[in-house]
């Protein structure tokens, strides 16, 4: 996916799979926990830590925005 390279990110298998899943469903809000669960039926092998890291990285470069609610949950 060239979009990752546009943001200066290396296109790893996990990043590509998670980006495709996240961006293919249109605009929505997800937490790392529920997004990780959504990846399971697609046979994406990514630990919860990887999901957190990828979503935070995407937020850092501006692919998604992170919104923390009451300091407890972060939505992307």
Mean pLDDT for the chain?
84
pLDDT value of residue 57: 93
Residue spans of the domains in the chain: they are 2-75
pLDDT grade, residue 55 (50/70/90)? very high
The backbone torsions φ and ψ at residue 10, rounded to the nearest 5 degrees and listed phi first, read -75, 135
Instruction: Please say if the pLDDT value at position 52 is more than 80.
Output: yes
Please provide the CATH number assigned to the domain covering 2-75. 1.10.10.10
pLDDT value of residue 1: 58
In whole angstroms, give the CA distance from residue 3 to residue 16: 10
- The gap from C-alpha 45 to its chain's centroid, in whole angstroms, comes to 13
pLDDT value of residue 56: 92
Helix residue ranges per DSSP H, the chain = 2-6, 13-24, 32-39, 48-61
pTM to 2 decimal places: 0.83
The answer to whether residues 31 and 75 touch, using CB atoms and an 8 Å cutoff, is yes
């Amino acid at each position: 996916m060239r979009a990752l390279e546009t943001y200066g990110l290396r296109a790893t298998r996990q990043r590509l799979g998670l980006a495709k899943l996240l961006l293919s469903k249109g605009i929505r809000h997800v937490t790392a926990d529920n997004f990780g669960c959504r990846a399971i039926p697609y046979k994406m092998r990514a630990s919860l830590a990887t999901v957190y890291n990828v979503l935070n990285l995407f937020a850092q470069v501006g692919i998604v925005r992170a919104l923390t609610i009451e300091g407890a949950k972060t939505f992307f």
